[in-house]
Amino acid sequence: MAKGLSAQAKLKKQVLEQSLCTGCGACVGLCPYQVIHADRTVQLFSCDLQEGKCYTFCPRTSVDFDRIRRILYDSKDITAQIGAVKGFYLARAADPHLRAKAQHGGTVTALLQLAMEEGLISAAIVSGQNEEGEPEGRVIDKSSELIRYAKSRFTVSPTVAAFHQMPDGFGGKLGVVATPCQATAFAKIRTSDIEGYAKGQSLGLVIGLFCGWTLSPEKFKHLLGQYDLTYEKIIEMDIPAGRSVLSLKTAGSDVEIPLSEVDACVRTACRYCVDSTAELADLSVGAARYGGECCEMAGWNQVIVRSETGAKLMNLAGAKGVVEILEAPAQAFDALKAAAAEKKKKGLKAITIKTGSAKKLLYLSSDDPVVKAYLKG
């Protein structure tokens, strides 16, 4: 009997050639055959392996979300809009210096620092840049260094590749900061039933980031050139609540670019995403926004606690006074669920237009209960 396509060939046909690659790095660092170069996944050599991890761990190959939910979360916590919810809070780092250096409330950095200092994790994988200014995953093993990586850059780093490159004999637990697609890759790794593969057990903490889209560095750098800017000069990036602009801070000036122009720089893969809150993380963090008027509560984050691991860390952070925690108003929770639902509808619509069928949904299953709910909508 003739063999089917190799895992690598399927990855190329179903993901890379379909512009579904998220740049997460899940297919890189497992072997020398594939690398990330200039934000592109490059297949250097052909591989005939039929069941490769490169294909299995990719967040845009088939994902059994229902199985992952059952393994990682308490079924009673599952919501259709934003995944598992054990708790929903407003939070910010208690340290004003950290808040000043971080994005919004600095909650992610504060939680990572605490997890490392308390021995819950030995190191953290965060988003950084190489000497050429290209995104890369960085392994940080000193809590004091984490503040250097506290700002958002709106581009994706191959963070999962950095995880793969960690030695198999690494003795401690790792924490990772992940976008929704990266969190999906890590969830596939954590719940893997590949015989002999146990590296997923080293993942001690996954902190997810709320994410609407990420930027293609190549396209974004071209757009910046029209404003006499370079990517390297940007100190801070943000989207002010209620305003359709991308705000950029540099050492010399502040620049605002209309989102209508920025939209052309959004990664194509992001058009087919249905997760805006990193549903497969231990806890997820984003900018604080109230419902109704959608005004941003400056300097605070919204936090979704999803798993027992996330709840343990959040409780510890409150008890230690590392993070200030408030119960979030009901309208904020409702607004977040509504926004997440719209993301699902928009993503599913784009997928069905691409495939021409409500039964062929790329990496999603038409039998998944959440997918079924939003296909009807």
Both tokens assigned to 21: 């690659």
Model pTM above 0.75: yes
Contacts 24+ apart (CB under 8 A), 327-333: 327/89, 327/90, 328/88, 328/89, 328/90, 328/288, 328/302, 329/290, 329/291, 330/291, 331/290, 331/291, 331/292, 332/88, 332/90, 332/288, 332/289, 332/290, 332/291, 332/302, 333/88, 333/291
Interior angle at CA 369, CA 365 and CA 371, nearest 5: 55
Instruction: Choose among 187, 191, 228, 232: nearest CA to 206.
Output: 187
- Bridge partner residues of 326 (DSSP): 90
What would the pLDDT profile of 24-66 be if each residue is shown by its tens digit? 999 998 988 888 877 788 888 888 888 899 999 999 999 999 9
At residue 283, φ and ψ (nearest 5 deg) are: -155, 155
Ordered by where they begin, the domains of the chain are 7-214+268-376 (no CATH), 217-265 (3.10.450)
What would the pLDDT profile of 123-148 be if each residue is shown by its tens digit? 999 998 877 777 889 999 999 999 99
Per-residue pLDDT of the chain (377 residues; tens, 9 = 90+): 346 899 999 999 999 999 999 999 999 989 888 888 777 888 888 888 888 999 999 999 999 999 999 999 999 999 999 999 999 999 999 999 999 988 889 999 999 999 999 999 999 999 988 777 778 899 999 999 999 998 888 888 899 999 999 987 777 899 999 999 999 999 999 999 999 999 999 999 999 999 999 999 899 999 999 999 988 888 889 988 778 999 999 888 899 999 999 999 999 999 999 999 999 999 999 998 765 444 557 789 999 999 999 999 999 999 999 999 998 989 999 999 999 999 999 999 999 999 999 999 999 999 999 999 998 75
Instruction: Choose among 375, 341, 376: nearest CA to 355.
Output: 375
At residue 376, φ and ψ (nearest 5 deg) are: -70, -30
Helix axes 107-117, 308-320, angle to 10 degrees: 90
Residue type, position 367, single letter: D
What is the DSSP annotation of 272-310? G---SS-TTSSEEEEEEE-SSS--EEEEEEEEEE-SHHH
What would the pLDDT profile of 258-292 be if each residue is shown by its tens digit? 999 999 999 999 999 999 999 999 999 999 876 54
